[in-house]
Amino acid sequence: MWFKNLQLYRLPTPWNIDLAKFDEQLSRGPFVKCPSNQPMSRGWVSPRRDGALVYSLGQQWMIALSVEQRLLPSSVVNEEVKERAELMEAQQGYAPGRKQLKELRERVTEELMPRAFTRRRTTYVWIDPKNGWFCVDAGSPAKAEEVIEHLRHCLDEFPLTMLHTQVSPQAAMADWLAGGEAPAGFTIDRDCELKAAGEEKAAVRYVRHPLGDEISGEIKAHLASGKMPTKLALTWDDRISFVLGEKLEVKRLAFLDILKEEAEKSAEHADEQFDADFALMTGELSRFLPQLVEALGGEVVEAK
């Protein structure tokens, strides 16, 4: 259950909502299997599979949203529509019009939907009510928005905002690369991507390539030509490696093996392992995120 990505949001510090009340409001939108006539279903599931919709340990919470989709390829629908349209043309003596084709597509989709395969995925969220962190383990903002939209549907109030920093990730990464050094507590790793702002979006990528003295001259030339960093691999405190994105997303999050070994040593069975993993992960992230924000000039706090 170690997170691999972080889409970062902020809650009021602290977020004053009772755990029991939060759990009760989540029960307004539990997961149910996708009906045969619907393309998608989503809802809350137990993160620990013990029935509770909120997993809580040491004032840290985790929730999970499951999404089930019916897979009905457009090519299958198109082929069936084509065959039926040809039959209609033969029967009525002329090709079906736009309205007929639209109605035919809707009818075919409705008929084929119950026979479609389903695919299910689950997105996990870490919530720190005391310090106001809301972090979604998702590789894209779209999947994080699925979670947020469903939460807004279930909760009476949900005062969530984006995390904004004084210095944009792009500007900060450009400074670090130009100077050849990351801020205190961080080191630059071996992956980097730079893109031009023009229509062609010319891009340069360094993958598993040391970004030391031999490459720094090239990178500085790219920066001087107008390219800006969109991704940069970093390590924090020799404990967490990650890729920072231009929109303040954290990807390829990886915790040092010794941390996972610590968790394994302290656990004797699966439930204890879950607790140990979650405690170590949230403990590390609670130290990492403030330092990342500090490296980006501090947080922009909206005036009340």
The helix, strand and coil proportions of the chain, stated in percent and rounded to the nearest 5, come to 40, 25, 35
DSSP 206-264: E-S---SHHHHHHHHHHHHTT-EEEEEEEEETTTEEEEEETTS-EEEEEE-HHHHHHHH
- Whether omega before 14 lies within 30 degrees of 0, making that bond cis, reads yes
| Residues 68, 41 contacting (CB under 8 angstroms) | yes
- Kindly give the confidence (pLDDT) of every residue in the chain, 304 residues in length, as a single tens digit, with 9 standing for 90 and above: 799 999 999 999 999 999 999 999 999 999 998 877 777 899 999 999 888 999 999 999 999 999 988 876 788 778 877 888 888 888 888 888 888 888 878 887 777 777 777 788 999 999 999 999 999 999 999 999 999 999 999 999 999 999 999 999 999 999 999 988 899 999 999 899 999 987 777 899 999 887 766 677 888 888 888 899 999 999 999 999 999 999 999 999 999 876 677 766 666 677 888 998 999 999 999 999 999 999 999 999 776 5
Mapped onto helix, strand or coil, the DSSP state of residue 64 is: strand
Residues in the chain: 304
pTM of the model: 0.84
pLDDT at position 159 is 95
Q: Which amino acid is at 50?
A: D
Q: Which amino acid is at 109?
A: T
* Tokens 């979604």, residue located: 136
Phi/psi zone of residue 236: left (φ > 0), alpha (ψ -120 to 50 degrees), beta? beta
* Tokens 């996708």, residue located: 34
Domain positions in the chain? 7-72+115-162, 74-113, 169-295
pLDDT at position 267 is 63
